[in-house]
Amino acid sequence: MKKLILCMLLLAGSAAFAQKATAFGTVLDSQGKPVKGATVTVTVDGTSITLNLTTNKKGKFTALKLAFKPITVVVSKDGYQTKTYKYEQKEARETVKIQLLAVGKTLADVADRPALTGTVVGSNGKPIAGVNLKFTIEGLPEYKVEATTDDQGKFVGDGVPNNIVEIYAIKADYRDQIYKVRMQDEPVDIEDFTMQTLDEAYEELGLDKPGKRTPKEMAIDIYNQAVAPYNQQQWVQAEQLAKKAFELDPTEPKTLQILIWCNQKQEDWKEVLSYGDVYMKLVPDNQNINKVVMFAAEALGDTAKLTELKAQLRASGAISVTDIFNEAVASINAGDDPKAFKLLDEAETVDPNFARIYLEKGKIKTREFEFDDAVKYLKKYLKLADKDDKYRKEAEDLIVMLLE
């Protein structure tokens, strides 16, 4: 009988939740060409889900039956450097783009050619000095180059062959300007990079130039500008606008949300952690943001920060004993008893009178054949549980079996 109940517990502990999420991925080389035959390993954090895939001739792969959890994608192929890409599955369908560098190459090697130059001028054709330029490439978050125009309005940047480089230009009293250029194998010089003054922009739109506004009002306007590129998944552009809004008003949660999500998409975990710290002090009970920030701490291997974040959330009531207990149950269902037991220990520190903690601990110890500890935890559950608790009989029967 004891063996029978152990088998039942083992089966119950390995039952997984139904999975419905899918990730559509593309693997490219540094020149934007598809990488065929790359090995792709997809794992779901906190579960036993591991998928081993191979890219097709278009560099594409599809990962089915995922969970709405943090996902780790490891891509490898002979001749290329292995790359680890992490993201959180939030939608039923996620699109993932991963670029590989050749063995022995660094991003600096790739970005060193060809040259990307240009001249920024005003509507009158005169050069504009002191324009801050940021160069980015979609799908290659490691590539972040900045430049400033000289007295002749000229700038020099680095390009990547066969990629579209987006140039974001900023200068006080001028309307922000975005310029996209496709780099091939030859240098590119941009001659038609024109910026309007704010006065010219308002006149063109037929609007009166507003009077002096507060930093908060200006931040709201810039935040609104960031919403469109954010919705279009143009993470770099949305982040740049949101940063400007944040500088003007660091207390607006919506701006911080855009910054956190954009950096999460670009795997810039330090930025996620930095903005997350500010956000969680303003809004401690947003579970989605809390998970992303804690995932960032895990991705950086910052265990001290992770412990601090959990303590902060527990103190604010954003993480309850029920939240931790449910996470432990999910780990049990995924077949990860060691992780579940650690989570149950954590739940116990939050509320030592939460009865079901000890029931699940007892079951885990039973599966580990540590029967004395199992009986101890089951008895503690019976002591704390309500008399009409629906799990009481299960615990009582298990104790009887263990003591036989």
pLDDT at 142 over 90: no
Residues 182 and 271 in one domain: no
Q: Are residues 43 and 90 in the same domain?
A: yes
368 assigned to some structural domain: yes
Asked whether residue 300 falls in the same domain as residue 347, the answer is no
Tokens matching residue 377? 């935890």
How many structural domains is the chain composed of? 4
- pLDDT number for residue 162: 73
User: Are 223 and 279 in a shared domain?
Assistant: yes
Q: What is the pLDDT of residues 314-337, one digit of tens each?
A: 666 666 788 788 888 988 998 999
Q: Is residue 210 part of a domain?
A: no
Task: Classify residue 231: in a domain, yes or no.
Answer: yes
28 found inside a domain: yes
| 90 and 111 in a common domain | no
pLDDT digits (tens, 9 = 90+) for 282-293: 988 787 888 888
Can you tell me the distance from the alpha carbon of 94 to that of 86, in angstroms, rounded to the nearest whole number?
12
Dump pLDDT digits (tens) for 218-238.
Answer: 899 899 999 988 888 889 999
For the stretch 373-397, pLDDT in tens is 989 999 998 999 898 989 998 988 8
Q: Does residue 75 have a pLDDT over 90?
A: yes
Indicate which CATH number applies to the domain containing 68.
Answer: 2.60.40.10
Query: Does residue 90 belong to any structural domain of this protein?
Result: yes
Can you give the residue range of the structural domain that contains 238? 215-316
Rounded CA separation 375/362 (Å): 7
> Considering 289, 316, 343, which residue would you say is the last residue of a domain?
316
Claim to verify: residue 120 and residue 157 sit in the same structural domain: yes
If asked whether residues 325 and 312 sit together in one domain, one would say no
Kindly tell me if the per-residue pLDDT of 56 is higher than 90: yes
Provide the sign of the torsion angle of the four alpha carbons 223, 228, 229, 235, taken in this order: positive
Over residues 349-364, the pLDDT tens digits come to 888 999 999 999 989 9
Domain finish residue from 171, 205, 239: 205
Quote the pLDDT of residue 321.
81
Q: Is residue 23 part of a domain?
A: yes
Residue 131: pLDDT over 90: yes
Query: Based on the domain organization, do 312 and 325 belong to the same domain?
Result: no
* Same domain (yes/no): 296, 326: no
* Same domain assignment for residues 325 and 311: no
pLDDT in tens, 158-210: 766 678 888 999 998 898 999 998 887 788 899 889 999 988 888 887 877 76
- Assigned domain for 334 exists: yes
The enclosing domain of 338 has a CATH number of 1.25.40.10
- Which one of 69, 100, 131 terminates a domain? 100
For the domain that residue 113 is a member of, what is the CATH number? 2.60.40.1120
pLDDT reported for residue 60: 94
For residues 247 and 306, state if they share a domain: yes
Predicted pLDDT of residue 121: 94
On whether residue 86 sits in a domain, the answer given is yes
Same domain, 163 and 230: no
Q: What percent of the chain shows pLDDT beyond 90?
A: 36
